[in-house]
Amino acid sequence: MSRSVTLSRKTLNSLSPQASAEYPASRGLHRFAVFTAASTFCLIVAGALVTSRDAGLSVPDWPLSYGQLMPEMVGGVFYEHGHRMIASFVGFLSIILAVWLWRREKRRWVRNLGWAALGAVIAQGVLGGMTVLLLLPTPVSVAHACLAQLFFSTTAILALVTSRSWNRLDAQSQPRAPETSGPSLPALCVMANCAIFAQLLMGAAFRHKGIGIIPHLIGAMVVVAIVFWLLARVARRYSGVPEIFSWTMALNGLVMMQLVLGAGAYWIREATRDAVQPLWPMVAITVGHVALGALILAVSVVLTFQVRHVFGRRHESFEPQGVPVTT
């Protein structure tokens, strides 16, 4: 792929009037979106720690903690209240992000995604409160875990679509190689997203004692099969498109790591079943497995958006209006 990346504003305008109208996205806005996504990742780690330390009910009240904003951070309270504090911070970031997008973002769907993120984080806070007040019923805990993953992916997409490289790409979409047989690349990406999310759901259900391990094991095989398929397709046809190839490689690498962590988490869970208190290796491996799961979904969703973005517009302009050309 030989493509100049140092296009001037003038070139951009001449290539794609639509793109230039949507640009310039503020660099500050992009950095803030990245910061929000990174904070959300920390929040997921903190949330996973709460579950692994069995600290979810160490603070029996909500929204206040022991009737105050800042209780003594002893034992499980450190994890539970720490999680609440980071969550409040991420909620605050989401408000700023949504308002910032609303004020500065030209693309309506991106503004809407900002509001969706804010709605999700509020819903997530309420779900978190419900886990405490209802004493961790499995469906609410699982919903809280899954919404966390969706929210993180949403922040990742916001970081992606406010980036300079994304908006530069608007000007230079390229033709997609004709598909031979089987599902199209976007369809494969959507399959990967669905399989990974289902896998997160089953992992959470297992963790919160809703189901056994078998569905999660089957899910792992399905996810591996789909990401391999994706890799095979991309390596054969799109190895020269870095936006797609690098994310596909990342997705495969993370999934491989996740298999190792997952096996480790399961093994150590069995091995330390009789421990009188959670042991740090078990906590670390399990929390790592949860966090990596969140990262995998986010990477898969980012890849999906990249695929759509890199090929989308050119394709669209070639097709008769109203006829869907993908999936």
Partner 1 sequence: MRIWKTVPGWMMVGLMSFALACGGGGGEKGGDAAEPAGGEAAGSADFVTVDPAKAATVTGKIKLNGEAPAMPAINMSAEPDCKGLHQSAPPAEVVVASNGMLQNAFVWVKSGLNGKFQPSTTAVHLDQKGCIYQPHVLAVQVGQPLSITNSDPTTHNVHPLPTTNREWNKSQTGGGAPIDYQFPRQEIMIPVKCNIHPWMRSYVSVVDHPFFAVSSADGSFTIKGLPAGTYTIEAVHEKLGSQETSVTVGDAESKDIELTFSAS
Binding residues for partner 1, rule: CB under 8 A, are 53-61, 66, 72, 74-77, 80, 109-110, 112-113, 115-116, 119-120, 123-124, 126-127, 130, 133-135, 137-140, 142-143, 146-147, 150-151, 154, 274-278, 308, 312, 315-316, 319, 322, 324-327
CB of 141 to partner 1, least distance (A): 8
CA dist 120 and 149 (Å) reads: 11
CB of 161 to partner 1, least distance (A): 10
Nearer CB in complex with partner 1: 173/252: 173
Nearer CB in complex with partner 1: 53/216: 53
The CA angle 156-251-139, to the nearest 5 degrees, is 65
CB of 4 to partner 1, least distance (A): 26
- The three-class DSSP label of residue 68 is strand
Nearer CB in complex with partner 1: 19/262: 19
Nearer CB in complex with partner 1: 36/58: 58
* Tokens read off for 260: 């190792």
Phi-psi region of 292 (alpha: psi -120 to 50; beta: other; left: phi over 0): alpha
CB of 256 to partner 1, least distance (A): 28
CB of 316 to partner 1, least distance (A): 5
Nearer CB in complex with partner 1: 61/267: 61
Nearest in space to 106 (alpha carbons), one of 33, 164, 26 = 26
The CA angle 284-289-295, to the nearest 5 degrees, is 125
Nearer CB in complex with partner 1: 149/258: 149
Place of tokens 């996973």: 48
Nearer CB in complex with partner 1: 30/144: 144
Nearer CB in complex with partner 1: 68/246: 68
CB of 288 to partner 1, least distance (A): 20
CB of 106 to partner 1, least distance (A): 14
Q: Are 38 and 47 in contact (CB under 8 A)?
A: no
CA dist 325 and 316 (Å) reads: 8
* Tokens read off for 318: 């070639």
CA dist 324 and 303 (Å) reads: 20
Distances (CA, A) of 111 to 33, 102, 240, 289, 312: 12, 5, 32, 32, 20
Place of tokens 């979409």: 173
The DSSP secondary structure of 165-181, one letter per residue, reads HHHHHTT---PPPPP-S
CB of 252 to partner 1, least distance (A): 24
